[in-house]
Amino acid sequence: MAWKASECGELLLAGTLDNPADAALLLFKGDSPDVAEKFARSDPYVTNGIVKRWYVREWKTVAGAGCATPVRPNVAPPAK
């Protein structure tokens, strides 16, 4: 399911947090939380009770090649 979401461009990265491996992070790309929430609700780990708790949070990216809201020191923001 994750590879399918990745191949269609919705899921950018996914994996577990290690030491201990007690959580996972999935990074989705979208204009709203809808894609991530739909994925989580139908995820077999969720539907089969392996994952008992999940949540979706928006992430405002401000630095890096693919960031959505670039913030650079000493640079005026673009005019709207």
pLDDT at 79 over 80: no
Closest residue by Cα to residue 42 from 65, 10, 80: 10
Average pLDDT over residues 52-63: 93
Q: Band of the pLDDT at 73, cuts 50, 70, 90? A: confident
Q: Band of the pLDDT at 68, cuts 50, 70, 90? A: confident
**Sign of the CA dihedral 42, 47, 49, 55?**
positive
pLDDT at 77 over 70: no
What pTM does this model have? 0.79
CB 58 within 8 A of CB 49: no
Give the chain as a DSSP string.
Answer: -HHHHHHTTSEEEEEEE-SS--EEEEEE-SSSTHHHHHHHHH-HHHHTTS------------SSTT-SS---TT-PPPP-
* Percent of the chain topping pLDDT 70: 95
Beta-strand relationship, 23-28 and 11-17 = antiparallel
pLDDT at 13 over 90: yes
